[in-house]
Structure 1
Amino acid sequence: MIAPKPPVPLTAAPLISNWIRVSPEGEITVLSGRVELGQGNASAICRMAADELGCVPEALAFEAGQTGLTPNEGFTAGSMSVSGGGQAVRWAASAFRNLLLKAASDRLGCETADLCLADGVILRDGEPTDLEFGTLAGDVDLDRPVTEWAAPLAAETAHSADTLRLDLKERLVGSPFVHDMERPGMLHGKPVHPPSMSAELQDLDLEALRARPGVVAVVRDGSFVGIVAETEVDAISAARWARGQARWVDRAQVPNDAIQAIGASREPADIVVQTGTVDEPAGRWFETTVSRPYLHHGSIGPSAAVAQWQEDDLSVWCHSQGVYQLRTALGMVFKIPEEGITVIHRPGSGCYGHNGADDAALDAALMARAVPGRPVKVVWSRRDEFQAAPMGPGMVTRCAATVDDDGKISSMRLEVNSAPHANRPSVNGTPNLRAAAYLERPMPPAPSTDIPIARGGGADRNAVPLYAIPNVEVSKRIVHALPYRSSSLRSLGAYTNVYAIETLMDEIALELGIDPIVFRLAHLHDERAKSVIEAVDDFAGSWRREPRGQGIGWGLGFARYKNTAGYCAVMARVEVDQEIRVTDIFATADIGEVISRDGALNQIEGGIIQSMSWTLKEAARLEGGQAAAENWLDYPILKFSEVPEVAVRLLERPDQPPLGCGEISQGPTAAALGNALRSALGVTVQDLPLTRDRVMQALF
């Protein structure tokens, strides 16, 4: 059943023409503000439009992420592409269908109820007419409000959820990535990033740098240095030389231990949720404090962009997740009207969150300004990607609960301390682009205000337990007094907060001698949540029959992402000897109507594997005020040989609106692994990742 309220994106883009474009030949283009990051949302959104228009998705063209052309839907983030942007396209396509049927009924002199669409042709009483999309295009005015004409089809008329990826062929045999772009007269640029956000360039021989082979221009603006060369090889060679010659000074105050500093911070805290009275209830007291380190996005392909100036107009091609927000940020930096800037999304290496894509765009634009009329392509190095891109913030979450004499949790308190999650471009009124912070006239980022809980929260995402607990208090403290640059990483605070809540739930159940699944079900009123947990119990049935302890353990993790998106429960089996080996993972998910089954499974499986990597291995290496990793040896990630059997089952509910699924498995997977480790060894490791050293520390 389609939600009765119009999708939120229709507020800013209310017209059918904001979402649908028709050529005189009848070619239909779907317009979306949700860009393709590799998650398959373009295919899913086209599927939703095709259902309403009675055609196959392959019959539709798709345009996403271009300023001045596609709707401004903010950032492609928060697992909202299908549930927000996709629903808006569905409504717009429905309105377009009804306008077409009205135009056809006027031509044919019949009732619209006698007509339908199939494969681009108008059918009358089930028989084809000579009317098609193209022949009716001139009869239809798309500058009409979607809500006045939309009537999305009922669930029983929906498609098969086996939607194919429309972009696979191009990705496999073509060159769709921004890294591969070629334009006439193109030059190549390389930035020489300061080693930290607070480092200042003291000395660099610019004349010697300009004399390097192939160098066309050298740009210095404050502590920004960019090298433009005829070839990428020349640009790389010159940048390496410059990096070895440059002298920097950094006066920033640096903590000895960043995570300890976050946990000990006394910056102002905000009460996010307060129900009942947490201090009064009496009973047994349980508490845990968990932490996660700073994390890198670690995309296999580094950030890249192409920029070109034509007089006072700037064009940028990049893999930004928010082209309009990047345009605003670039307008701030160059002090030119936004109308003179065009930002066009081109696929890059996938990233869930805020990586260096927008920073590379500014790098390219600063360098291209030195060679007017010629495009400049910038591709960061692996070192750049580790040291210059925003990191996922370090966090410390304290979770405490009181259990009454009946074995029920009567109160729970969560205190979240975190570095910032919300430093995307043009948020908080500043560009929030790396190079902008150290230009001659710097534009440093304003202190992050974090994401309101009404929009899913940032540091406090999933800190409000879904469990039925009468007295709950949640507070968050955003820690700004650190030299490290952080922003959104897949699932934001949910990963850490779910780990805290779910490992504490297991600890309480163990102390009370209650089955962990029974204990969770007793604290849930949400029937869909119960169904997901019961389904994973059934799916991973062997876990109850296998003895635990002595190095073998099973663990459960559960959450509803943002308490509004998809539900996910994960069961993990581990074997622990010299190392932790994950042998099996079972997951169940309820994401409402499934638009693309394969796409949803890929999202959940990918989230599980990424979360495994975070939980078992990943931690940014910080030295002084900078991220110090230069290559994959400095930042180990999960190997293919370490990926276990992963099985995911969807609880399909075609009568319910689709729910976001791209980030639902991050927190439950971490919690399942932590609880499985406790099951195997009898100890809880509170500080992530679950490395051998930390396990040994917990044991001894």
Structure 2
Amino acid sequence: MISRRKLLFNAGALTVYFSLNPVLAANANKPSSLLPRALKHNPELDAWLSLDKRGKVKLFSGKVELGQGILTAFAQIVAEELNVAMTRVEIINTDTRQCPDLGYTFGGISIEHGGTALQLAAAEAKAVLLSYGAQHLATETSQLSVQDGEFYLNNQPSGITYWQVLTDSRFDIQSYGRGVIEQSREHSIVGTSAQRLDIPAKAFGQAAFIQDMRFSDMWHARIVGPPVPGAALIDSNFESKHLSAGQHLVQDGSFLAIVGKREESVVRDSLTIANNCQWSRGSELPDENNLVAWLKSAADPAETVAQAGQGKRNSRLNYRAQFSRPYQAHASLAPSMAIAKLEGRQLTVWSHAQGMFPLRSAIARLLDMDETMVRCIHVPSCGCYGHNGADDAACDAAIIATKLPGRTIRLQYSREDEFLREPYTSAMAVEIEASVTEQGKIQNWDYQIWSCAHSSRPGGAKRAGNFLSASRIKKSIAKPASVPIPQPRGGSDRNAVPLYTVPNLRIRRHLVPEMPLRASSLRTLGAFTNVIAIESCIDQLALMTAVDPIDFRIKNLQDQRAIHVLERLREVSDWRRHAEGQGRGIGFARYKNSAAYCAVAFFVRVNKATGKITLDKAVSVTDAGRVINPDGVKNQIEGGIIQAASWCLKERVRFSKTQVKSRHWGEYPVLGFNEVPELETHIVNRADQPPYGVGEVSPGPAGAALANSIADALGVRLHDIPFTSSYVLQALHNVSEV
């Protein structure tokens, strides 16, 4: 099969791709040994960005659009560096036949890594094009400038453009050093709130999502899955002759699906089959009201992930507490789906999963196919941050397509399917013991976590066993062992190491290798719970020493950017004044202790008679380095705050000893529009610093600020998410009894 790269060489195009390490805004003109890994591994400019005859710049992205606006930011970077209008930049979303392998889009690293590398690649491309322009105009590159792709000679338009000088030439370049990155003071596109490229189609009801895709030969499919986790098919008392006309029953071991031309008939028959299937009992689930005890009983021995100092020092001011988080769902607004078709030996899968190349490798392994014969194409959905049902839907569609070759299979999960089949975020328990001097300096810090690894993605051939259907088909693949994500990124222990200065510190992780409910990554992984626990402890230590919470944090920090964010929050939130009867609280973190900074102040009211918590206002300050699109940053920060509030107040997967009970929105409430607080968002733009992603920076600080504001309003600290009205009333009752 001919590759896109060979095809581009034959067509005389230039191609740019990106990902990578947050190195180098200052090292643009350094040797290639300093380049990010993906640029070193793929040094050919001809592999990454193309100019076509329509006067467009095509950008082949290995990162996917999840609704976070990443592709708009990438277009801004390319337009800025190449000095072309944004309308000229055309992005090809991730396609394993056309685009580079940049793994997953996750962890808030697309701008931090991809943006920096893309800037370098585009600057290099411009330098090469300038050299071609100089040759064409018989002048020096120093005499040329560029406006919207046209060369200007001594500030006068030449009539010659990028598209004329490239013609059939190849760049044939594998080293870097010619490109000069545009300085921030010269930016006219980067740093502005450019209109999102993906929003108009979504806002005006055009075909924008994978759910909108239609094919003339499309067949609808539904999965018939076990009613309880861990169950296997014993018997199906149903014959194909009982299906509606034109329907097909696909069975492979315990994998069952109904396929047909009419979606309503497929849905009806799938319910009929489900009622005629006999399944094994499945796994017994723990007591949902005693998850902390279960986590501790099921965990491996402790592993120390960070330690400092000579051991605990005696102190008169000590604080000890336990915090927990239940299983919570991704709760995607649209249930997962995928489309697949097998033509000859070529399998094509359209999916809204977060990594097309890992998906391709895993599907090829599961179906015992040559990886080059599997093509995965990303199409957006109303999805989520994290590992929801998208990968499983793609896998299921691929299995069905191989059983019914030549048909385009549209596999759609129902809402109940999504709740039952998606991996949840792992339940977590945290214990913290800390002490402080009378002068307000943290002295000791002992921190322990009980949780799973927070990632069970089917990430490539070696982890194909993580597909839900991998254990159900006849040629099943065993689930791989759970492996913790190492520091400094971390999984359950992400952000478990406090940014504060602590002379005596120990952080321990207790890995729970097998979870009773399937668990994987959800936005921030373990950072959300860890930041809440750490910041709740910090507030308690501040209270014990009678120091203002912001002053206490600043006193125990050395990072000047962190201090600036807190000082700025104090200023913009009018911190020292709040309404009578209103609780206030602050939360702060630097995501992964290496990325963007965020501080949030929450203001709430709590009705002590009913337990109802009202969110009045959330004020945030974020330092994400050089900001590509301020409005895009604002959207991400505010979305994270709202989701954190929903996690804290509403969300919990309910289950009995035998089955999950949260199967519909009525059984899994989320924050409503009428409950969203007033949001005030401030961004610190450091144009001289590398950019950081912000998709996951705000939930932890927002959750911590909310927990601290509720404690301030009640005079009682809540330790276990979610903070429901009944929990508030119980906490007040317990205090009154004491």
Q: Same fold (TM over 0.5)?
A: yes
Deviates more, 1:399-408 or 1:681-690: 399-408
SS of equivalent residue, structure 1 residue 627: coil
| Closer/same/farther in 2, CA of residues 18 and 276 from structure 1, 3 Å limit | farther
**In the alignment, which residue of structure 2 is the partner of 1:103?**
132
Query: Runs of 5+ in structure 1 lacking a partner?
Result: none
Determine if the alignment matches structure 1 residue 349 to structure 2 residue 382. yes
| Closer/same/farther in 2, CA of residues 402 and 194 from structure 1, 3 Å limit | same
**In the alignment, which residue of structure 1 is the partner of 2:16?**
none
**In the alignment, which residue of structure 2 is the partner of 1:443?**
477
Deviates more, 1:144-153 or 1:189-198: 144-153
1:134 deviates by 1.3
SS of equivalent residue, structure 2 residue 353: coil
Post-superposition Cα deviations, 1:36-58, rounded to whole Å, max 9, x if no partner, equal 00110010000001000101222
**In the alignment, which residue of structure 1 is the partner of 2:25?**
2
1:148 deviates by 3.9
Determine if the alignment matches structure 1 residue 201 to structure 2 residue 224. no
Q: 1:162 aligns with which of 179, 186, 193?
A: 193
**In the alignment, which residue of structure 2 is the partner of 1:88?**
117
Paired amino acid for 1:445: K
Whole-Å separation in 2 of the counterparts to 1:143 and 1:626: 59
Whole-Å separation in 2 of the counterparts to 1:103 and 1:281: 71
**In the alignment, which residue of structure 1 is the partner of 2:20?**
none
Whole-Å separation in 2 of the counterparts to 1:317 and 1:547: 52
SS of equivalent residue, structure 1 residue 369: helix
Determine if the alignment matches structure 1 residue 222 to structure 2 residue 256. no
Q: 1:18 aligns with which of 44, 47, 69?
A: 47
Determine if the alignment matches structure 1 residue 687 to structure 2 residue 720. yes
Matches within 5 A, 1:398-409: 398-409=431-442
Whether the 8 Å contact between 1:55 and 1:120 is mirrored in structure 2 is yes
1:211 deviates by 2.8
**In the alignment, which residue of structure 1 is the partner of 2:686?**
653
Paired amino acid for 1:168: I
| Closer/same/farther in 2, CA of residues 8 and 691 from structure 1, 3 Å limit | farther
SS of equivalent residue, structure 2 residue 696: coil
1:402 deviates by 2.2
**In the alignment, which residue of structure 2 is the partner of 1:119?**
148
Whether the 8 Å contact between 1:19 and 1:89 is mirrored in structure 2 is no
Whether the 8 Å contact between 2:569 and 2:620 is mirrored in structure 1 is yes
SS of equivalent residue, structure 2 residue 484: coil
1:690 deviates by 0.6
**In the alignment, which residue of structure 1 is the partner of 2:276?**
245
Deviates more, 1:618-627 or 1:313-322: 618-627
**In the alignment, which residue of structure 2 is the partner of 1:232?**
263
1:547 deviates by 6.0
Post-superposition Cα deviations, 1:321-342, rounded to whole Å, max 9, x if no partner, equal 1000000110111111100000
Whole-Å separation in 2 of the counterparts to 1:546 and 1:304: 47
Whether the 8 Å contact between 2:415 and 2:663 is mirrored in structure 1 is yes
| Closer/same/farther in 2, CA of residues 226 and 409 from structure 1, 3 Å limit | same
RMSD: 1.8
Whether the 8 Å contact between 2:57 and 2:89 is mirrored in structure 1 is yes
Whole-Å separation in 2 of the counterparts to 1:493 and 1:667: 9
**In the alignment, which residue of structure 2 is the partner of 1:557?**
587
SS of equivalent residue, structure 2 residue 75: helix
Whether the 8 Å contact between 2:622 and 2:684 is mirrored in structure 1 is yes
Query: Runs of 5+ in structure 2 lacking a partner?
Result: 1-23, 28-33
| Closer/same/farther in 2, CA of residues 399 and 135 from structure 1, 3 Å limit | same
**In the alignment, which residue of structure 2 is the partner of 1:128?**
157
SS of equivalent residue, structure 1 residue 129: strand
Matches within 5 A, 1:65-76: 65-76=94-105
Post-superposition Cα deviations, 1:192-212, rounded to whole Å, max 9, x if no partner, equal 12234410111213415x532
1:143 deviates by 4.3
Whole-Å separation in 2 of the counterparts to 1:202 and 1:265: 29
SS of equivalent residue, structure 2 residue 158: strand
Determine if the alignment matches structure 1 residue 141 to structure 2 residue 175. no
Post-superposition Cα deviations, 1:462-513, rounded to whole Å, max 9, x if no partner, equal 1011111122221212212322111110011110000000000000111111
Determine if the alignment matches structure 1 residue 594 to structure 2 residue 617. no
Whether the 8 Å contact between 2:438 and 2:545 is mirrored in structure 1 is no
Whether the 8 Å contact between 2:330 and 2:425 is mirrored in structure 1 is yes
Matches within 5 A, 1:366-385: 366-385=399-418
Q: 1:672 aligns with which of 677, 685, 705?
A: 705
| Closer/same/farther in 2, CA of residues 214 and 179 from structure 1, 3 Å limit | farther
Whether the 8 Å contact between 1:214 and 1:235 is mirrored in structure 2 is no
Whether the 8 Å contact between 1:313 and 1:340 is mirrored in structure 2 is yes
Paired amino acid for 1:526: D
Q: 1:452 aligns with which of 464, 470, 486?
A: 486
| Closer/same/farther in 2, CA of residues 427 and 397 from structure 1, 3 Å limit | farther
SS of equivalent residue, structure 1 residue 544: coil
Matches within 5 A, 1:24-35: 24-35=53-64
Deviates more, 1:186-195 or 1:17-26: 17-26
Percent of aligned positions with the same letter in both sequences? Answer: 36
SS of equivalent residue, structure 1 residue 271: strand
Paired amino acid for 1:50: A
1:113 deviates by 1.4
**In the alignment, which residue of structure 2 is the partner of 1:568?**
598
Paired amino acid for 1:530: I
Whether the 8 Å contact between 2:132 and 2:166 is mirrored in structure 1 is no
**In the alignment, which residue of structure 1 is the partner of 2:217?**
185
Whether the 8 Å contact between 1:100 and 1:140 is mirrored in structure 2 is no
| Closer/same/farther in 2, CA of residues 427 and 394 from structure 1, 3 Å limit | farther
Q: TM-score, normalised by structure 1?
A: 0.96
- Count of matched residue pairs: 695
**In the alignment, which residue of structure 1 is the partner of 2:71?**
42
Post-superposition Cα deviations, 1:583-635, rounded to whole Å, max 9, x if no partner, equal 11111111111101111100000000010000011001122354322210000
